Structure 1
């Protein structure tokens, strides 16, 4: 038996999201019916006549502000055209707001569907500002942007933010750097720029003043660390850009948080910490304890993740598209641990749309700039179990196995997380069963209240994706199928 205690609450939830990099630049110009289909899968909160969600209702959308590698073409050094990005400004200072048209279409679609938060993020400064005239560095640990260009970069970003605010598509947050630990060079095959901690501390006040001068409401989010380990201490090979909780948010860096535009958020990526279930849990538990003890003002954003390299004890690797249940259940476990152990207030996936033979997308598409087919993944719907029903403003509540009841679950689960929606007075519970056996679940409320829940189920069956299921009631057994997820939503 599982017991939920609404009186014991934890972090508020800001939302769940994904980014438009890089395929939105093409898919956003596909035939209207196809791009509307993709937007509906990502953003819709409507139900079809059978009561099934039409989409996963993302509440956060990440918009990539490009550096101009697309205009350089093959001379950019980025071989894959799908990984290049346009820039709104050219070397002569001319602004062209028709650039990034496909991405702008998806930004408009996100807002039209009611997406609450937009995060604009930057992989590289514009190529006409960088040291080498490229959207990647020379392989050193220092930024590809010289200090004398910080003000120009800040003005570029402030102008972009101001334009979209005046256009009625404001950015809520701006992430000016991305994975600063990696020594981005031509071999990485995409736009990217390293930054040392010292360089970040120098850039942020300049950027903050540029935003403040224009009266913009956008807030800065930092540092988009490449791995959670880069927050927790010095890491081998990155002495100048790790230990970022202390270096950027500790006593010596109070000025950073005093910059008016900086949000009290530490953003980091989940890569490199999911090799085993033990590592997955330990790193997130360490991060959560460190934040609550030393940095209680900071909110933690898990701001980028997809399945890379080796994961889950060697059972899952990044290469090879897989639309099935296994990657979906694994990612759901990662989400659960980020929420429950690290107290993440938001969780954001990497590629919303992928043309690749890789486990990096929610929606997959044919690799054709002019148009093609759209492929749903179980992973899309797994993220939807949280995104669609755990809305911004929800508060995570305590859920545990009744110590007087059945034995504790083993390390393979099941896992249940619970959320209270203060405005409506309703509750959402997400349960995950990665085992090959059915699991009976009984849920009760610690205050003795009796609730009825609508259920939405995803299983290995091809068409069972957030499928409406039988009602669930507190105090009564509900069978969680093998290798499945269920979301329970209480009725008013």
Structure 2
């Protein structure tokens, strides 16, 4: 037996104070054949799959406003904890809303003037108050480019059939060309502010009639808007390298949406990939089905959070993240974007009271950060799976949820989640070399090999 040469063994657990804690490396000589019977985890680095873009979170007006209200040291700590590639998670992805979303302080649009088809009133002045300073601080902490996805929750009210930004409604046919030009204006305006936009989604949750900012698109409407308006508008503006992401909604109906859009060769040529969220059933097989049907198109997780309040201190929230990140990555997802980077202790602000959890909550009275279970769990992936890594084959016992990536620097990062109430003795094999490690109850661990 040859021992796996590990350089790091990092653990977080529900019980005790293990939070991205460096643990002693497994002793030499552990991992016998007897111990490999159950549970076990084998990694085969010669079998390689998708290339990883990175992890990230959403810059909402709510998150930016809470961040801006913190003391300077806490503001610096937050962007460092998320974006610093050495001392933090090293996030490389982000998402920002075009016009308002529910996690804004109220409704607003970048073109407020009714019937302004020439977009003469277009302005991002409101974004300059909090959103753009937050984005620029994150870029400084990262010290490298961030891929920012811009997503609209609703066109301006005057462009919609219900003349409201909330309560669903649809984009008026006569407003499609002007709305497509709004994306062009937004991208150029953000670029001028020092925040390049990497991609846009057509519409956040286009099948959801929400009491907050929302707009409905059928699959055919989304296809036609991309084919006839958005794609050509970006191309003609010299922005053809900006990625277009469709769907941006739950897994359950993503296959049907992808099939309609990608079956049109003109529309498909403009589209980089399919975005999806986690609300509703955990239909992970639907992610795999989209890849199997359209392997040349990318898959990007674009939103997920624990709904129904802040859920302060609940370990189960982090376990939901672990389960979803692992399952999505193992089904060809190239990047994973969380929802709000920061919220207050209520899980807001939210202008319709749709309070949620965030990986970091702010104690606004004390001006302090409260790191939640999702933060520690996401760190087990984001800190060790590098942009440009390739997913590799894993074969694990049913009791272990796991994924593994071969990094550009020659290391291999293996993430294993133990969602059970008892400790597990894990036999870990990488390319025929073995070791063993103990996983505490309700824990997640990351193993990193020495560079090859």
Q: Same fold (TM over 0.5)?
A: yes
Alpha-carbon distance in 1 for matches of 2:134, 2:145: 11
The superposition leaves residues 240-266 of structure 1 with CA deviations (integer Å, 9 ceiling, x where unpaired) of xxx21221222xx2221123xx21x11
Alpha-carbon distance in 1 for matches of 2:340, 2:419: 24
Which gives a bigger RCO, structure 1 or 2 (Cα 8 Å, sep 6+)? 2
Matched, 1:178 2:204: yes
The superposition leaves residues 214-247 of structure 1 with CA deviations (integer Å, 9 ceiling, x where unpaired) of 212312111212x211123xxxxxxxxxx21221
Tell me the number of residue pairs that the alignment of Structure 1 and Structure 2 aligns: 393
Match in the other structure for 1:478: 437
| 1:396, distance to aligned residue in structure 2 (A) | 0.8
Matches within 5 A, 1:121-200: 121-137=151-167, 139=168, 143=170, 145-184=171-210, 188=211, 190-200=212-222
Counterpart contact for 2:224–2:267, Cα < 8 Å: no
Matches within 5 A, 1:17-28: 17-28=56-67
Q: TM-score, normalised by structure 2?
A: 0.80
Which of 396, 406, 416 is matched with 1:420 structurally?
Answer: 406
Matched, 1:390 2:385: yes
| 1:380, distance to aligned residue in structure 2 (A) | 0.9
Match in the other structure for 2:236: 213
Q: TM-score, normalised by structure 1?
A: 0.74
Match in the other structure for 2:84: 44
Match in the other structure for 1:269: 277
Match in the other structure for 1:51: none
Which of 59, 70, 73 is matched with 1:33 structurally?
Answer: 73
Structure 1: gaps of 5 or more residues: 48-54, 70-77, 233-242, 274-279, 309-317, 402-407, 449-473
Counterpart contact for 2:291–2:299, Cα < 8 Å: no
Structure 2: gaps of 5 or more residues: 1-35, 348-354
Matches within 5 A, 1:439-454: 439-446=424-431, 448=432
Counterpart contact for 2:343–2:361, Cα < 8 Å: yes
Alpha-carbon distance in 2 for matches of 1:33, 1:361: 20
Change (3 A) 1:207 1:392: same
Matched, 1:363 2:385: no
The superposition leaves residues 121-159 of structure 1 with CA deviations (integer Å, 9 ceiling, x where unpaired) of 11111234334442124x5xx51x211111111111101
| 1:296, distance to aligned residue in structure 2 (A) | 1.5
Which of 267, 275, 278 is matched with 1:256 structurally?
Answer: 267
Change (3 A) 1:229 1:5: same
Alpha-carbon distance in 1 for matches of 2:275, 2:424: 35
The superposition leaves residues 134-189 of structure 1 with CA deviations (integer Å, 9 ceiling, x where unpaired) of 2124x5xx51x2111111111111011012224432101011301111123xxx2x
Match in the other structure for 1:62: 95
Alpha-carbon distance in 2 for matches of 1:129, 1:245: 26
Matched, 1:94 2:93: no
Match in the other structure for 2:284: 284
Counterpart contact for 1:56–1:380, Cα < 8 Å: no
Counterpart contact for 1:398–1:418, Cα < 8 Å: yes
Which of 105, 110, 116 is matched with 2:133 structurally?
Answer: 105
| 1:27, distance to aligned residue in structure 2 (A) | 2.5
